[in-house]
A and B are shown apart, each in its own frame.
Chain A
């Protein structure tokens, strides 16, 4: 079985890891909770890869596993179910849940309860994951792009998962040939053309990124109007139409 490596520079996560290590050989039940895709499973896998792993959403299977095993990791642990305190005593149970709050009665089952912070609260980890997924995406998409990522624009709504999607898209769409952009638009129009005023409706697909990129690159509407070869008033009108501030 492969060895899972867990990385974090976040002080809170280092402390969670230390807590797990100190109680490695103890029969204590531990709950690790926090948003989805923040590395809970990877952290526990790096220490308990050989334990029995049970999907907690299958309640019957979980109940049987609690009876039969003294060391289990329960992922998708459902905190809204009823559990008997005896089921959690004198056993090594590590329960993982994506819930962000824990009710009192669940609190009384576990010796330790850790809350893992989301990625947006771990700036010290963000750099690492950006580099990791740029490298991974370049390898998987057979590219060699060195991207300058604007951290303000990264989508962290779904933590590591949305960061990964953001970077893969960036790499995939970086340095596209004109024909590739046309192919993408072609597929999009094939799928979405259906109204009676679609020319105006879809014009902003072209105008919005053109004006945004131009304004960012040249700094003023006057300069951009010269670059684009259109009247300044026309550009101002298009800026307003496209809702650009």
Chain B
């Protein structure tokens, strides 16, 4: 059989793969791992590899849910390359991709800062949380479903009513796009973050989001809401 260069398969695999030496230095990483390391410290992955390393030679697979920022994995494999090098491979959690066909008739040109301010005003009536607000006042008006967006925002903010502090960050995402139908749109991201929050309304929030053209990552302490800038 003709010799095949399998390294190319690893290089372009969507599951991150990293090879460490005995000191935790990276000796090799594939393209997916390069993206992943833009979000987390390699030391975390090295420690993970050591923790789950097999007791003798060979490799070991572990089923475990791992969440790193926007990444979710359902399993890892840790193995020895030789006496000095150890590798870790993380397996992406499959995600159901839903086609969103949102009628543009429902979308209305909106000053998102005003809508956010109105929601913050409502939040301040119910909470004594210390607010840190980072918004871009020069954001363009763009089209959203105002009532649904406001419902989502209100529900998200309600999750922080008992929190001591809340940071609200609204910014343009550069280099990231969302595709709706056949069109690619630039994105705006709203991040609500605190040390602790109420998670009881998370399912309801996701249900409302699924009916809109928005996407959201929900973590124990954070909401990251991405919206397309439809002009």
Contact = CB atoms under 8 A, between A and B. Distances in A.
A113 interface: yes
Contacts of B115: 22-23, 26
B146 A111 contact: yes
B128 to A, nearest CB: 13
B125 A27 contact: no
Interface string B140-165: 00000111111100100000000000
Contact of A112 (B110, B124, B150): B150
A180 to B, nearest CB: 48
Chain B: number of interface residues, binned into ranges: 20 to 34
B106 A22 contact: no
Interface in B77-118: 106, 108, 110, 114-115, 117-118
Residue with the highest number of chain A CB atoms closer than 10 Å, among B108, B114, B147, B208: B147
Contacts of B110: 26
A110 B204 CA distance: 14
A26 B146 contact: yes
Contacts of A112: 118-119, 122, 150, 154
A18 interface: yes
B41 interface: no
Contacts of B125: 12, 15-16, 114
A73 B154 CA distance: 21
A90 interface: yes
29 contacts: A15-B124, A16-B125, A18-B118, A19-B122, A22-B117, A22-B121, A23-B114, A23-B115, A23-B118, A26-B115, A26-B146, A28-B146, A28-B147, A29-B147, A88-B147, A89-B106, A89-B147, A90-B106, A90-B145, A91-B147, A108-B204, A110-B151, A111-B150, A111-B151, A111-B154, A112-B150, A112-B154, A113-B122, A114-B125
